Amino acid sequence: MEAGDRASLTRVLLDCGLNLTDSERRLARLGLAPRDIDGMLVTHEHGDHAHGVFDFAAAHDIVVYLTYGTMLAMKAEGRVTEGVRMVFLNGRQSEALGGMQVIPFTVPHDAREPVQFVLSDGERKLGVLTDIGAPTAHVAQMLSGLDALVLECNYDRDMLWSGSYPKWLKQRIAGPFGHLDNEDSARLLGALDRSKLKHVIGAHLSQQNNRPEIVRAMLARTLNCEESWIGLATQDEGFGWREA
């Protein structure tokens, strides 16, 4: 996300599951270089979010913002690079990062101390929610009144249960500390204050257990809008810039 006027833009990288080369390539695709990044936020230690964080931060001297629990979990796996500056977040306190307010909030997920984020430039708010087993009242409150929302739509229930994943993995994904299925996501979206909401991006879609057209149709039905209005992040392409 970018916050501020052109001269004093603040940009953050939220999670980094890819290796250094791929991360740099993805940034370049958005017209950015690593030096444009003012801070890296980490939601939790799972590889698809954290694998490349410290390599990128060390290579480009960027501060990493994460919870103490996430740092400990990454350290236990030898994934914390010495010398990288860190700021420890908690789920009750917001943090100023340049012109941006970083507002972490806690979520139920099978990681050590996971958080998700609302980011604000003082006027507009972007919420990001992935990797959550079940919506809570706290999460719904944090995501109400946003201008833009990136929302996990991880799996279609029928596709998961009839698919080829082992039983233990299906149970983990569908469990209270796993991921949101399309219907849970749509129900959460339907319960939010959406009076200012201008952008919705479905994200963290399973390649095995979901299909973009199912997500797009479900979210459009919830919002009573055209399917073309719903954005989707794909694993290969991500999603492009949105104008406020």
Residues contributing to the site for Zn ion (CB under 5 A): 46, 48, 131
E-assigned strand segments in the chain:
2-3, 10-14, 39-41, 64-67, 86-89, 95-97, 100-106, 115-120, 125-129, 148-152, 199-203, 231-232
SS3 at position 239: coil
Please, which residue, 3 or 215, has the CB nearer to Zn ion?
A: 215
Please state the closest distance from residue 193 (CB atom) to Zn ion, in A: 26
* Rg of the chain (C-alpha set): 17
Q: Which is nearer to Zn ion, 31 or 166 (CB)?
A: 166
* CB of 129 or CB of 148, closer to Zn ion: 129
Q: How far is the CB of 204 from Zn ion (least distance, A)?
A: 6
d(CA 110, CA 84): 26
Q: Are 165 and 115 in contact (CB under 8 A)?
A: no
C-alpha distance from residue 9 to each of 5, 38, 97, 197 (Å): 6, 9, 11, 22
Helix %, strand %, coil % of the chain (to 5): 35, 25, 45
Choice between 48 and 95, CB closer to Zn ion: 48
Inter-residue contact 132 to 107 (CB < 8 Å): yes
Name the residue nearer to Zn ion (CB basis): 67 or 120. 67
* Least CB distance to Zn ion at residue 224 (A): 29
The nearest distance, CB 121 to Zn ion, in angstroms, is 26
| Residue whose CB is less far from Zn ion, 3 or 153 | 153
Give the sign of the dihedral formed by CA 235, CA 136, CA 96, CA 125.
positive
The nearest distance, CB 102 to Zn ion, in angstroms, is: 19
Output the smallest distance, CB 74 to Zn ion, in A.
Answer: 13
Nearest to 98 by CA among 7, 27, 30: 7
Using CB positions, name the residue nearest to Zn ion: 46
